[in-house]
Chains A and B, each alone.
Chain A
Amino acid sequence: MSITALRLAAGLVLALALGACSGPGPQFTILSGSENDILEPMVQEFCQSRRATCTVKYQGSLDIALALKAGNDPQADAVWPAASIWIDMFDTARRVKSVKSIAQMPVILGVKRSKAQALGWIGAKVTTKEILAAVEGGRLKFLMTSATQSNSGASAYLAMLAAGIGKPDLIEAGDLDKSEVLATVRGLLRGVERSSGSSGWLADLYREGERTGARYEAMWNYETVVKEANDKLIADKKEPLYAIYPEDGVSMGDSPLGFVDRGRGKEVEGFFTDLQAFLLKGETQARIAATARRVELGRAAPLKADATTNLDPSRALTVVRPPEPAVIQKALSLYQEALRRPSLTALCIDVSGSMKGHGEAQLLEAMRFLLTPARTREVLVQWSKEDRIIVLPFSDRVLWMETAGGDESAQADLLGKTLQLRAEGGTDFYTCGARALTAMKPLLDAGQHLPAIVIMTDGKSQGAMTTFEAAWRADGRRVPVFGVTFGDDADRSQVDNLAKLTGGRVFDGTKSLTQAFRAVRGYN
């Protein structure tokens, strides 16, 4: 063989080898808790180094768990909820493998510093029982994620429940049948000023409240999210949150990252293994520890304690032992059906002409889900008897208005009436929102319910935002507006403005209206 031929052959081999090395990595999807969004740049950094396209979809831990139930397709290659107990409880077919904890995150109570001062909690040892007493005495209100959608809410709830029972180290079967315990916890959850399905969003709500003057007092959240919120509050020259670590025990999220085996082959699994190893190597763990997460023994030094905010990721904690899965299930059902602060929800549903066909069918299917207890119970968003539901179908005017309780027969009546709706006419959700406020007023004044207006729409509203805004301001700015958009021509901007004004949120219902509805339920 000539030298030229040899060179050519060698060049070809080299080009093939390089091509093999630098080929694009896989398309990879991770279902993650919202508290991990601050870690996403590290994930993306790794993905870019491998020329892989990574998508991180944020969901509540319980939603992630439900996606793992036998028969469901999680549509993801990896799951990263806040605590592994949810994987263990719901992944009965063991599709998730190679689960490793990336960090440890205790759920603590962040209290506005001046409030903590007023309660005598600066530098003091505070127990969950004392927090309970402050809430019962009307001296403290807090934000907390929904216990049936998010791990931080479930953790805070279980810790309060255990303290209410008087056995902070463990809730056992049988403890939940005592009426005095339930009364205590119901009283405690009256302290919930706002709820959400996402711990990250809850922290944003707290900060937004400082900016708009809504001024919340405290929130249950991960130590790391409290730190993150504080960094932003301090940058905005606002008062930071003071960290309360209950002496009698805190719940700990272990942030597990696991591979979902969907038969996508060796390359995808290998990519996952390398991603996990990247997140666990010393250098990355040091960056993770800098976000106030606690990392495994000896992996990296924890963030230093801060006396002003009392945040101290190196502080040794007594950890509340999670109860048995059956006890957790029972506790969550109790929360949803009996203990949480009852909700007052006005559903403004768009039945304008543009909804004809697919939109109308989707809408009615979503209402069928929302008002069928057997279906809502499956995913823990069922209504309780104390809840109040107001349905207001609208086009360019409100067609009718019906108020019902959350018991099964009332829901059935409401559904029966709703299913007769047919789409026609123009669109005006501002007027519908204002009408909803008027209808909600008597119950709002009693102060027992957690209110929300949900506007489901596929398009633009005629009329003016001031129609709603004036009524909302006059009513004491108490009710958040949530938007659910769907249909091909959905325009989010108008509902976005309403959500922004009122401290609500807009959900995309174009892929699954039912999913969007379930998400909204976490917020009231």
Chain B
Amino acid sequence: MAISRRAFGIGLLAASAAGTGGYVYLRQHPEIAGRFGEPKRLSGFAGGEKEGFLANTRVRSLLERRFGLILDARRAGSVEMVRERTLLDQKPQFLWPSSSVLVELARNSGVKISRDQVIFNSPIVLYSWDRIADGLVKGGFAEPAGGPRYTVDLLKVLKAIIAGETWEAMGVGGLFGRARVVSTDPNKSNSGFMFAGLVASLLSGDVIALDSLGRIDGEVATVFRRMGYKPPSSGKLFDDYVAGGAGAQPLIVGYENQLIEWVLQDAERWKRVEASAPSKPVILYPRPTAFSAHPLISTDRAADELIDALVSESLLELAWEEHGFRGPLGTIGKARNTLLQSRLIERVDQVLPMPDAPVMMALLDRLATA
């Protein structure tokens, strides 16, 4: 069939318009952009607790195929990624720390933020071992919450640590020396950072403010000094906990999602642990605790659409089902995992807000030189 020159010209114009329109449409709908053209590569830093989520092949595949995004996310402590020049000078396109306060700190460090949004939430918990938790119950520091899960009176534990009590005196037999709780380095990683805020608020009796910091900073420093070496990332600390066992890591600070993720990674291993391990991991929910939000900070417009991709329902469900991150409002997802149901608490009450950024900065400075 012959085509007239006029028809050909109109056709060409229409195709061009459709192409431009299509491009504009796809830009506005990143969930289908991945089906067309070259995927976009983005590099940045993410807290260690999200490493499993980011390495998940289903997550990577969804990001690439549906959203056209390939991530090169390196593990870095949440606090250092928003402050350390050696990391910021690498020009990350996104930062994914684990607390909303850190968005403010990033801004203070001169990071130009294109967009930021909380993607999911996870409460700060203590991880221990059944025999140690039972000792803490006996000593009056913790209470069973039905099933192998516990709540713990964090202020009481902190006071015992500050007083230099031994494990033995706290009701825990078989552990040598003085009691301690170990978190990540608050100057580098968010779980330690949030724990520092929580400890300061608890010891002062209210959400800590700048004018009351001087009253309790010495005690906060004692709690942190008693920890000795503090790893720079929560992923590493949790790995140390499960690898080292009760003698090496009796009580650590972590995110609730970490045990969930560990169990789901290898359900058969978990069944073996439940059946025969000499000590079994348990979660102690501090009362009160703090919620760790995970805000994605896009520092480059190219990374803005990563936020839309991550808050899509499919990725949020994956985040809960396979990695134990609660939704942006702290709620758990639709699916219930039978392996873990008896260990998690559905609703976390008694949540303390994080102190303001200037208070946290002042506290970090004091802890760094303590």
Q: Name A's B-contacting residues (CB within 8 A).
A: 70, 84-85, 88, 92-94, 97-101, 104, 168-173, 247-249, 252, 254, 261, 273, 282, 295-299, 316-319, 321-325, 328
Contact = CB atoms under 8 A, between A and B. Distances in A.
A247 B227 CA distance: 20
A252 B241 CA distance: 12
A216 B74 CA distance: 47
Interface in B55-93: 55, 74-76, 80, 84, 86-87, 90
A85 B248 contact: no
A332 B232 CA distance: 21
Contacts of A70: 86
Given A261-B74, A321-B227, 12 more contacts: A94-B45, A101-B240, A168-B177, A169-B180, A172-B225, A248-B177, A252-B244, A296-B242, A297-B269, A298-B266, A298-B270, A319-B247
A321 B180 contact: yes
B144 interface: no
Nearest to A168: B177
Interface majority SS (helix, strand, loop, mixed), chain B:
mixed
A323 B45 CA distance: 27
20 contacts: A84-B231, A93-B87, A93-B90, A94-B75, A94-B86, A94-B87, A98-B51, A101-B240, A173-B225, A252-B244, A273-B55, A282-B269, A296-B242, A296-B243, A316-B246, A321-B182, A323-B229, A324-B225, A324-B230, A328-B229
Interface string B245-271: 111110000000000000000100110
Contact of B86 (A88, A93, A254, A316): A93
B169 interface: no
Interface majority SS (helix, strand, loop, mixed), chain A:
loop
Contacts of A84: 231, 236, 240
Between B55, B230, B236, B273, the greatest number of chain A beta carbons within 10 A of the residue's beta carbon is seen for B236
Contacts of B246: 316
Given A84-B236, A98-B51, A297 B245 contact: yes
B176 A248 contact: yes
B232 A88 contact: yes
Given A318-B176, A319-B244, A319-B247, A97 B270 contact: no
B7 interface: no
A189 to B, nearest CB: 22
Given A261-B74, A298-B273, A325-B229, A168 B176 contact: yes
Contact of B175 (A282, A295, A318): A318
Nearest to B239: A101
A296 B266 CA distance: 12
Q: Which 7 A-B pairs have the closest CB atoms?
A: A169-B177, A319-B248, A322-B229, A321-B228, A298-B273, A298-B269, A318-B176
B160 to A, nearest CB: 15
Nearest to B80: A94
B248 A94 contact: no
A322 B231 CA distance: 10
A265 to B, nearest CB: 11
B178 interface: yes
Nearest to B231: A88
A170 B80 CA distance: 26
A328 to B, nearest CB: 8
